[in-house]
Amino acid sequence: MKRILPAFLIGLLLAAPAAAQRAPSDYQQTDAVLAHYPALPDIALQSPAFAAAPPSLSNQDALMAFVAKLAGSSRHARLTSLGLSQQGRDLPLLYLTQEGLADPAAIARLDRPVIWLIGQQHGNEPAGGEAMLAVASALSSGELEPLLARISVVIVPRGNPDGAAADRRVLASGADPNRDHLLMSQPEVRALHQAMRLLPPDVVFDHHEFSVAWRWVEKFNALQAADVMILEATHPGVPRSLTDIARRLYRPALEAAMTRHGLSSHDYVTTDAARDDGMVSLGGNAPGIARNTFGLRGSVSYLIETRGVGIGLQSYQRRVATHYLLAKALLEASATDGGLRAAIAAARQEAATDRSPLVVSHKVARRPFEMPLIDPHTGVAKPTPVTLADSRTLTAVERRERPRGYLVLRGGKPVAEALALNDVKACEVAEAGRAAVEAYDVQRVTVETRRESINPDQSVRVVVRPATIDVPQGALFVPMNQPATGIVAAALEPDSPGSYLGVGVVPMNDNESEAPVYRVMTDRRFCSPH
């Protein structure tokens, strides 16, 4: 399934500043700093990196041998493949169920919460991927095995094997996989979502690492302090009740696990690569960030980041153990809450019937924040005042009545393919006819559109007006009364940052002003999605 992207779109994907793509050479922390981050000797990790001392990075062969052995020796683990990376490396996936099922439909029929764990989307963030192997082992025949009576688990230990082989954040193409989950332009991201379509996640944890020195030294002459930073989906289109489950069930479980093991933590914050930008952002609200996309498609979603990028294998056991402990806390909380699956199903149903106005675009609040950093030489706390862009505190820039559906008159095929990978159902209009709709008059605005941006700017502005149009046979109809309604709006409202029209999946000529996308405001069904 190869798709041809417009040249300028490829440009956008690759338009990261050079610094964002280069793996910074390893930063050697002082002994005084390292003393704050000792190993957690009580946490035994069954994974290839810890088979011998000192720990090592698990290369692709070691990873493949480990998962094959698990699947061969466990009653619960079944190994399959998402497909191949751009450079031909395997993308393994493990199903872990009480019954040892390999068929996604059969696993879905068990009617247990389905938990997806994803490691190492970013190649230079190895601890999350390594921890996924230890979790798989513990579920196969270790301390977590009893949980499989209550939950089913899917593990993708290494989402970006090419990046892992090159110690690089990005994919072989240079694109950042963790900004591509709405657009689906990259084969690794498409492969992941194809598997998710067969077995939709109730809960997704996405395991990353963050930069310890690099930008923090350049900007603040300090190092990141926290062992781990976490954040739920924050895009305003994420159903409120899913966010409530994240905060009610998982947040306390994660915090208890961290406190019990003496790990320091706070909400996930990041800062731009640009040296002169002193802003620190609480995550970001790009709809194509995995954490947000999973929320928009109807799953409870968390990002887990440990203190690890750019420091090689320093404190490696602690980093992997931290991911392990948080995944364990997540799985235990999921197995303990008997009402979880029903609550998530209710949240999805609520999303499908939501009639509230759409927040098409928004601004995030800025407020003073004391960033918990440490002195790079002594390791002593160095709380640093910064301005925080708070992605949880929003002001709507564009609010718009929620349509009942959309008609896409151009680019329908790639739009349908990308949406389907996020569990959106659409169909082709069977018979041509006239329709009363709302049309968009589009004005392109000049912004520095970077796919890597965590809070992307709008690349178009629109004026919405009533219109009557000819709908040709074969036009795409996308209804909004479905659980992944947030995906539909993020993709198809042209002025939603990162929209398919904004990035060129829905093409427009320079001399046109009317978008080939229309809002259907009535209950008229142009066809029946399947």
In the bound complex, what is the minimum distance in angstroms from residue 235's beta carbon to Zn ion?
A: 18
In the bound complex, what is the minimum distance in angstroms from residue 207's beta carbon to Zn ion?
A: 9
* Side-chain half-sphere exposure of 159, counting CA atoms within 13 A: 32
> What DSSP designation does 289 have?
S
Nearer to Zn ion, 12 or 229 (CB): 229
**What count of other Cβ atoms lies within 10 Å of the Cβ of residue 465?**
10
Nearer to Zn ion, 125 or 267 (CB): 125
Nearer to Zn ion, 47 or 270 (CB): 270
Q: Give yes or no for a contact between 326 and 229, defined as CB atoms under 8 angstroms apart.
A: no
> What DSSP designation does 357 have?
P
In the bound complex, what is the minimum distance in angstroms from residue 122's beta carbon to Zn ion?
A: 3
| Closest alpha carbon to 181 in 424, 369, 364 | 424
Nearer to Zn ion, 78 or 169 (CB): 169
Buried b (16+ CB within 10 A) or exposed e, 424-463: bbbbebeeeeebebbbbebeeeeeebbbbbbbbebbbebe
Buried b (16+ CB within 10 A) or exposed e, 400-419: beebebbbbbbbbebbbebb
In the bound complex, what is the minimum distance in angstroms from residue 178's beta carbon to Zn ion?
A: 6
Nearer to Zn ion, 144 or 175 (CB): 175
In whole angstroms, give the CA distance from residue 132 to residue 67.
10
> Which residues here bind Zn ion, judged by CB under 5 A?
122, 125, 208
In the bound complex, what is the minimum distance in angstroms from residue 339's beta carbon to Zn ion?
A: 32
In whole angstroms, give the CA distance from residue 522 to residue 419.
22
In the bound complex, what is the minimum distance in angstroms from residue 116's beta carbon to Zn ion?
A: 16
390, two tokens: 């708070």
**What count of other Cβ atoms lies within 10 Å of the Cβ of residue 488?**
24
41, two tokens: 């000797």
In whole angstroms, give the CA distance from residue 93 to residue 132.
11
In the bound complex, what is the minimum distance in angstroms from residue 429's beta carbon to Zn ion?
A: 41
In the bound complex, what is the minimum distance in angstroms from residue 173's beta carbon to Zn ion?
A: 17
Nearer to Zn ion, 223 or 358 (CB): 223
In the bound complex, what is the minimum distance in angstroms from residue 210's beta carbon to Zn ion?
A: 7
Nearer to Zn ion, 207 or 235 (CB): 207
Backbone CA torsion sign across 426, 430, 432, 436: negative
Within 8 A by CB and 6+ apart from 72, the residues are: none
In whole angstroms, give the CA distance from residue 198 to residue 203.
15
Nearer to Zn ion, 208 or 400 (CB): 208
In the bound complex, what is the minimum distance in angstroms from residue 124's beta carbon to Zn ion?
A: 8
Nearer to Zn ion, 79 or 454 (CB): 454
In the bound complex, what is the minimum distance in angstroms from residue 286's beta carbon to Zn ion?
A: 14
| Closest alpha carbon to 320 in 17, 37, 26 | 37
In whole angstroms, give the CA distance from residue 136 to residue 118.
12
Nearer to Zn ion, 163 or 379 (CB): 163
For helices 316-336 and 126-141, the axis angle rounded to 10 degrees is 50
Nearer to Zn ion, 13 or 343 (CB): 13
